Amino acid sequence: MYARTLYIFIIGILLIACNRQEEATSQTASACLEEAEAALANDSIRQGETLLRKTIGLAEASQDWHTYYIAYQRLAVALSQSNPEEALQLMRKSLAIYEQHPDDEHNYVILLDYAGTYAAQVAFTTDGSYDEALDYTRRAYDIAATLLPPSGGDREGGSDLMCQTLTSLANIAWAMEDYRQALDYAHQAESVATTDLRPGILQVLARSYLSLNMLDSAEIAYRQIEAGNDVHMAYIVKSNLARIALRRMGATQLEDSVAEAFGQIEDFYYKALEQKDEYYQETLRQEMENQRLEYRSKMYVRTLLLVIIAAVAILLAAVLALRYRIRMQEQEKRRLQQEAEHQEKLLHQANEVVSFLQNFILERTEVMKKLNQGGDSFIYLSPNEWNEIERTLNAIDNNRFANIREQYPNMQEDDIRLCLLTRLGISNRAIGNIYCISISAVQHRKLKLKKDVFGESNPDITLEQILTN
């Protein structure tokens, strides 16, 4: 009888503890939105989408209108790459909610600008009309203009909003193949751009120049973009600089082949992002599981204070279960770490593909063909051919020789040309045929250049290694 009473008492305590746990884990819409944004910031797209849909339901139930339309807007951003049509539908819902419950014109401009962007994406992929995209974006621009006082200062981030809406208008004009109009909008956006928004504007500007075949202006714009740690932005800059170099040489067919190769690399990049998403999603799930276990352990400790015998048993079970779970989670983390290392190896292979394409471009220039087919006869290179070699190397080799000229302004032109030939991998025999000197004389000139100009006296380090590094 006593044992049965004690058993019923323990069950009652556990039910109370479970009810308290459910109350403690109930979420508000704003808290759920913060979790979703944290997941998206860690590239856990699918986990973020799930939390955003949950946020929408919570916000609608609690009539939290601000969180309601913000959650629709965040979900549209998360789906914009994979499903622009659904992203546009979500932005229409977000705008409808805001217009029924307005609270901040700054947010209204952002919503209209996103809606215009996704409408333009849908029109571009379906060859449809851009009227809806232009309507949203121009409305956003008109409201952003009212946030700028007549004196030209900034109020409530009006300059940033003007810059964003002008950039969106430039993108739409470019998609409509009105490249002159796109340039005009991009220049206007550049005049009010902040440091954070400048790379995006320069990208639109360079793309418009390239579409108009204004290669020099496009190259200048691309070289002004500071990619920083943005791997995808760096890829865009390098791939387009390579396209510019090929177009200058008139290698149209080769340009198409290289563009196709870069497209395959970009597909690989997005696949790597998806795998990274799976890694972060699993990590987030484990963290939530750890939090749940930690909370359960606390509830067990509270129960121990009321029922000594039951609490000791529960505590032992909880400790054993926790140790087992931690052991299993450590094994899982090691597996995930190995997968991450595998992805790094794949990205390294992608970089090797880029290097191969650079060498591929060099080998098919007319000057390289001339150098490789020279044999033992005298080889003459005109000033224009020397300039072509240097310009091509700068375009595909991160402006290396422009930096050398700036760092060593006293270098003779013959020394610069010897460095160019060395970087191209031209043999000492071929270099000797160009300068009409013996192979030993070429070796002596390289040794003297390495020591006198670059200050390297280590005999184990060659001029080729210095130029490569």
The single-letter code of the amino acid at 321 is A
Pair 147, 156: CB distance under 8 Å: yes
List the pLDDT tens digit at each of the 469 positions of the chain: 544 554 555 565 555 545 544 443 346 899 999 988 888 887 778 888 889 999 999 999 999 999 999 999 999 998 888 888 999 999 999 999 999 999 888 999 999 999 999 999 999 989 899 999 999 999 999 998 888 655 444 444 568 888 999 999 999 999 999 999 999 998 998 888 888 888 888 888 898 888 888 988 888 988 888 877 777 778 788 888 888 888 888 766 555 555 565 555 555 554 554 555 555 556 656 766 776 777 777 777 878 877 788 767 788 777 888 888 898 888 888 888 888 888 877 776 655 655 555 555 655 566 776 776 656 677 788 888 888 888 888 888 788 888 888 888 888 888 888 888 888 888 888 888 888 888 898 888 888 888 888 888 888 888 888 887 7
Burial of residue 422, with CB atoms counted within 10 A of its CB: 0-12 exposed, 13-18 middle, 19 or more buried: buried
Residue of 329, 337, 334, 335 lying closest to 287 (CA atoms): 329
The pLDDT value recorded for residue 154 is 46
Q: Could you give the residue ranges of the DSSP H alpha helices within 80-195?
A: 84-100, 105-126, 131-146, 158-175, 179-191
Predicted confidence at residue 71, as pLDDT, reads: 93
Q: b or e along 41-50 (b: 16 or more beta carbons within 10 Å of the residue's beta carbon)?
A: ebbbbebbbe
How many Cβ atoms from other residues are within 10 Å of residue 248's Cβ?
A: 15
pLDDT of residue 20: 47
How far apart, in whole angstroms, are the C-alpha atoms of residue 205 and residue 218?
8
CB distance 170 to 208 below 8 Å: yes
Predicted confidence at residue 364, as pLDDT, reads 53
Long-range contacts of 363-368 (CB under 8 A, 24+ apart): 364/251, 364/254, 365/249, 365/389, 365/392, 366/249, 368/424
- DSSP assignment of 299-358: HHHHHHHH-HHHHHHHHHHHHHHHHHHHHHHHHHHHHHHHHHHHHHHHHHHHHHHHHHHH
Q: Which two tokens stand for residue 381?
A: 């290179």
Q: How many residues does the chain have?
A: 469
Question: What pLDDT shows up at residue 16?
Answer: 54
Q: Which helix (H) or strand (E) holds 271?
A: helix 252-306
Half-sphere CA count of 418, side-chain side, radius 13 A: 22
CA distances from 53 to 231, 247, 384 (A): 30, 47, 62
Q: Note if the pTM is more than 0.85.
A: no
- State the greatest distance between any 2 C-alpha atoms of the chain, in Å, as a whole number: 112
CB atoms within 10 A of CB 11: 11
